[in-house]
Structure 1
Amino acid sequence: MNKTSLGFTFLTGLLAALQASAAVGPQEAGALGATLTPLGGERAGNADGSIPAWNGGIEQSAAGGGNQIPADLFSADKPLLRITAANAAKYADKLSEGTRALLAKYPDSFRVDVYPTRRTAAAPDYVYKNTALNALNCKLTQNGQSVEGCYGGIPFPVPRSGLEVIWNFLLRVEPQAEEFGFKNIVLTSDGGQTLATRNDNAWQYPYYYQKGSVPTWSKEYFLQRFSTTAPPFKAGETLVIRDSVDPQQSRQAWQYLVGQRRVRRAPTVAYDTPDFVASGANYFDEVQGFFGMPDRYDWKIVGKKETYVPYNTNGQVTAPVDKAFAPHSLNPDTLRWELHRTWVVEANVASGKRHAVPKRIFYFDEDTWLLTLLDGYDAEGKLWRTSQVLPFVVPSVPAVLVKPVAVFNLQAGTVSNVQAFNGENFKVVPLKPESYFTGDAVAAEGVR
Structure 2
Amino acid sequence: MTPFAKHTILAAAALIAALPLHAAVSPEEAAKLKTTLTPVGAEKAGNKAGTIPAWDGGMNKAPVGYKNGDPRPDLFPGEKPSFSINAANMTQHADKLSDGVQALMKKYPDFRVDVYPTHRTAAAPQSVYDNTFKNATRAKTLEGGFGMEGAFGGVPFPIPKDGYEAIWNQRTAWRGGNVMLPMRVWVVTADGRRAMASGGTQTLSQNFYAKDGSLEKFDGYYSLGKFVANAPGSKAGEAILALDGVSEAAPRGLWQYLVGQRRVRKAPSVAYDTPDSVTSGIGLFDEAFTLFGPIDKYELKLIGKKEMYIPYNNNRAASAKVEDLVTPNTLNPAQVRWELHRVWEVEATLAAGKRHVVPKRKYYIDEDSWQIALFDGWDAKGQLWRTNYALMLTLPDVPAVSNFVLWGGYDLQNGSYYLNMASNELPKQYEIVPPIPRSFFSPESLANEGSR
In 2, the alpha carbon distance for the partners of 1:71 and 1:105 equals 33
CA shift in 2, pair 1:77/1:33, >3 Å: farther
Change (3 A) 1:59 1:65: closer
The alpha-carbon deviation at position 305 of structure 1 amounts to 0.9
What does residue range 320-339 of structure 1 map to in structure 2 within 5 Å? 320-339=321-340
Report the AA paired with residue 421 of structure 2. Q
Which one of the candidate residues 434, 437, 440 is aligned to 1:433? 437
Q: State how 1:7-406 maps to structure 2 within 5 Å.
A: 22-61=23-62, 64-65=66-67, 67-108=69-110, 110-247=111-248, 249-403=250-404, 404-406=406-408
Q: How far apart are 1:36 and its partner, in Å?
A: 0.3
- 1:3-56 CA-to-partner distances (Å, cap 9, x unmatched) read xxxxxxxxxxxxxxxxxx932101111100210000000000000100000000
Correspondence for 1:442? 446
Deviation per CA, 1:194-230: give whole Å up to 9, x if none. Answer: 1101111111111001221111101001111121111
- In the alignment, what sits opposite 1:15? none
Shift of the 230–446 alpha-carbon distance from structure 1 to 2, 3 Å rule, reads: closer
Which residue of the partner structure matches residue 425 of structure 2?
423
| CA distance in 1: counterparts of 2:450 and 2:375, whole angstroms | 40
Change (3 A) 1:215 1:374: same
Q: Distance in 2 between matches of 1:69 and 1:230?
A: 22
Question: Equivalent residue of 2:447, what SS?
Answer: helix
CA distance in 2, matches of 1:156, 1:215: 18
Matches of 1:419 and 1:296, distance apart in 2: 26
For residues 239-267 of structure 1, the C-alpha deviation after alignment (integer angstroms, 9 at most, x for no partner) is: 11111112365421111111111111111
Measure, in 2, the Cα distance between the counterparts of 1:230 and 1:322.
18
| Contact 2:257/2:450, CA 8 A, preserved across alignment | no
Q: Which amino acid aligns with 1:443?
A: A
Q: Is the 8 A contact 2:237 2:449 kept in 1?
A: no
Q: 2 CA distance for matches of 1:442 and 1:389? A: 28
RMSD, matched Cα = 1.4
Distance 1:42 1:441 in 2: 44
Aligned mates of 1:440, 1:429 — CA distance in 2: 22
Q: Percent identity?
A: 47
Q: Distance in 2 between matches of 1:441 and 1:80?
A: 50
The unaligned stretches of length 5 or more in structure 2 are: 1-21
Q: Deviations over 1:315-363 (max 9, x none)?
A: 1122121111221111111100000011111000112221110000111
- What is the letter of the counterpart of residue 329 of structure 1? T
Paired residue secondary structure (1:287):
helix
Aligned residues: 427
Counterpart CA distance in 1 for 2:294 and 2:373 is: 18
Name the CA distance, whole Å, in 2 between partners of 1:182 and 1:99.
26
Letter in 2 for 1:67: G
Residue identity opposite 1:30 in structure 2: A
Contact 2:68/2:432 (CA < 8 Å) preserved in 1? no
Q: In structure 2, what is the Cα distance between the partners aligned to 1:401 and 1:362?
A: 16
Query: Could you say which structure has the larger radius of gyration?
Result: 2
CA shift, 1:190, in A, is 0.3
C-alpha distance in 2, partners of 1:367/1:268?
33
Q: CA deviation at 1:429?
A: 0.3
* 2: CA distance, partners of 1:307 / 1:412: 26
In 1: Cα distance, 2:126 partner to 2:315 partner:
23
Aligned to 1:330, the other structure's residue is in SS state coil
| 1:22/1:135 contact within 8 Å kept | no
Q: In structure 2, how many angstroms separate the alpha carbons of the residues matched to 1:197 and 1:402?
A: 19
Q: For 1:439 and 1:102, how far apart are their aligned partners in 2?
A: 41
Distance, in Å, in 1 between the alignment partners of 2:133 and 2:68 is 34
- TM-score, normalised to structure 1, is 0.93
Write the distance in 1 (CA, Å) between the matches of 2:189 and 2:354: 32
Give the CA deviation at 1:69: 4.3
Q: 1:27 & 1:346 partners in 2: Cα distance?
A: 29
Identify the residue that residue 409 of structure 2 maps to in structure 1. 407
Residue identity in the other structure for 1:132:
F
1:93 Cα deviation (Å)?
A: 1.1
Contact 1:174-1:208 at 8 Å conserved across structures? no
Q: Report how far residue 67 of structure 1 moved.
A: 2.8
Q: Please tell me the residue identity of whatever aligns with 2:100.
A: G
Q: What is the CA distance between 1:443 and its match in structure 2?
A: 2.5
User: Greater shift after overlay, 324-333 or 152-161?
Assistant: 324-333
In structure 2, C-alpha distance between the alignment counterparts of 1:48 and 1:446, rounded to whole Å: 54
Q: Distance in 1 between matches of 2:306 and 2:184?
A: 33
Change in 2 beyond 3 A, CA 1:445/1:162 = closer
User: Is the deviation greater in 176-185 or in 121-130?
Assistant: 176-185
Give the whole-Å Cα distance in 1 for the aligned partners of 2:352 and 2:253.
Answer: 25
Distance 1:123 1:405, change over 3 A: same
CA distance in 1, matches of 2:150, 2:250: 19
Gaps of 5+ in 1: 1-20
Q: Distance in 2 between matches of 1:172 and 1:70?
A: 20
- Deviation, structure 1 residue 442: 2.4
**Preserved contact between residue 202 and residue 226 of structure 1 (Cα < 8 Å):** yes
2:186 and 2:326 in contact (8 A); partners too: no
Judge conservation of contact 1:23–1:160 (CA < 8 Å) in 2: no
Compute the displacement of 1:174 (Å): 2.4
